[in-house]
Amino acid sequence: MSPIQRFKKFLSPEKDGEFNKKLMKLTIPMALQQLMMCCVFLFDTIIVSGLGDEYLGASGQSGHFTFLMWSGLFAISGAGSIYAAQYWGKDKDITGVRKAFTTTLLFGAGIAVPFFIVGFFFRDQVMFILAQDDRTRELGVQYLSIVSFAYLFWFMAAMFCSVLRSMGITRIPMIASAVSIGINVIMDSLIVYGFLGFPRLEIKGAALSTVVGAFVELVLLIVLARKAKLAVTFKRKDIVRPDRELLKKFTKAVIPMLAKDQMWALGVTVYSICFTYLGVAQTAAYNAYANLGEFMNIAFCAIGSAGGIMIGHELGKGELEKAKNYGWRLLRLILVTGLILCPIFILLSRVLLLPFPKLTPEAIQYAHQALVIISLVIWARGINFTNMNGILRAGGDTLGAALIDIGTLWLFGVPLALLAVIYLGLPFWGLMAVIATEEVIKVGISISRVRTYKWAKQLV
């Protein structure tokens, strides 16, 4: 079969009603939850941007430290979901699911607690690295001193959500997120600017609302899970001692994932630092784009994550061929979705920036350049997310995903970005082009890895 014939077959597979039904059932609640999370982050960004470019730069740059922490939690919860999904797919093994849950909590605490300690006690040193402007550093220190407390709530909520989703339960995490986000938005609206008699806390208010929202989400998750009488409800009986074999397998899976996600987040942080060398307006523009970029990725994150859970269930049952078929169906859907969204996002790029009227015209122009450039490769971003965090991860091929993600970022993206800003003096759009090119290169490599089928393994 010629490459053209294979591509046509890839674009036009036989219909699979079961696949579509399962994917829709998982994707819609996850997409809604992702949308709500993106909206609250975007709302926070809009609220803070009204205080000025320095405030947006401060929250954005200090947010990269939080991003590093979240990337670690994402790796831990991802490893837990691998085993929880396969245990659940294997005759709904509740004991196995509880072992996976306990393991993710232990590893998650090992990430969140050190980040809290550094973020709270060493916040000055953190902001010295992340920002060049003195005022931006000062504001970032204020933000970190409060928001770091959210880390202790987030890690427990993240581990709990990952296990629930692995069991096909997506409604409860969505509801908990919705209420948490609502509280966050209301508090932001009142205490950042001091409306309705509340004190004007500015950037400290944005951080405080985040902490309260994180606490509410965790409490709601536990309450709703217990009310629904789920198999795992965060009770004492759900905390069981993992056996030595699971700990060995989990550690083997999570180390490459941790290395991948942390090194990837660190690389993205280096990107953000590169933009700080271009100026305050460029820093604000990059952080505005970063929040909008998450909004643009909602469909890909939801479909990729849901597809990974489905593949994990099939692998747990030993249905390897069916899991392979699901993988290619996912990639086809992501490619088509990306090609459709590309021109739409380009046309709407100016509209997406309307919520930022307080940014300087210079910052708005730079942010527009970023949105247009990233829209051109949005399909590549979708494929990469699905491959790394859906298909390869579902079967435990975490080492392959780590090598691809870290390799393209640190061997191509980061060195070229540093070269562009320090030695070549490229403008804002040139630095964004480097980020876009790295995504395209990664697509070819990740697809090649999927085709080896080294990820199609039953782990439990």
Task: Summarize pLDDT for 243-289 with one digit per residue, the tens.
Answer: 777 778 778 777 877 777 778 778 878 888 888 888 878 887 887 78
Q: Where are the beta strands (DSSP E) in 156-241?
A: none
DSSP 296-358: HTHHHHHHHHHHHHHHHHHHHHT-HHHHHHHHHHHHHHHHHHHHHHHHHHHHTHHHHTTT-TT
Q: Which residue has the tokens 């910052």?
A: 363
Q: Is residue 37 very low, low, confident or very high in pLDDT (cuts 50, 70, 90)?
A: low
| pLDDT above 90: percentage of residues in the chain | 7
Q: Is residue 40 very low, low, confident or very high in pLDDT (cuts 50, 70, 90)?
A: low
Residue 235 phi/psi, 5° resolution?
-90, 175
pLDDT for res 8:
56
pLDDT for res 68:
80
pLDDT for res 114:
92
Buried b (16+ CB within 10 A) or exposed e, 306-345: bbbbbbbbbbbeebeebbbbbbebbbebbbebbeebbeeb
Asked whether 299 and 370 are in contact (CB, 8 A), the reply is no
Which amino acid is present at 17? Answer: G
pLDDT for res 153:
93
pLDDT for res 104:
87
Looking at every residue in the chain, the average pLDDT score rounds to: 82
Mean pLDDT of 436-458: 86
Most confident residue range from 48-57, 144-153, 355-364, 385-394: 144-153
* 400 pLDDT higher than 70: yes
Task: Summarize pLDDT for 311-335 with one digit per residue, the tens.
Answer: 887 887 788 888 888 888 888 888 8
Q: Is residue 149 very low, low, confident or very high in pLDDT (cuts 50, 70, 90)?
A: very high
Asked whether 72 and 111 are in contact (CB, 8 A), the reply is yes
pLDDT for res 216:
92
Task: Summarize pLDDT for 105-126 with one digit per residue, the tens.
Answer: 888 898 899 999 998 898 888 8
Q: Which residue has the tokens 């985040």?
A: 210
Sign of the alpha-carbon torsion through 126, 128, 133, 135: positive
Mean pLDDT of 416-421: 86
Buried b (16+ CB within 10 A) or exposed e, 366-382: bbbbbbebbbbbbbbbb
* 97 pLDDT higher than 90: no
In Å, how far are 103, 114, 156 from 322, measured between CA atoms? 29, 41, 33
pLDDT for res 12:
59
Per the model's pLDDT, the better-predicted residue between 388 and 33 turns out to be 388
pLDDT for res 220:
92
* 460 pLDDT higher than 70: no
Q: Which of 315, 279, 256, 336 is nearest to 459 (CA)?
A: 315
DSSP 101-117: HHHHHHHHHHHHHHHHH
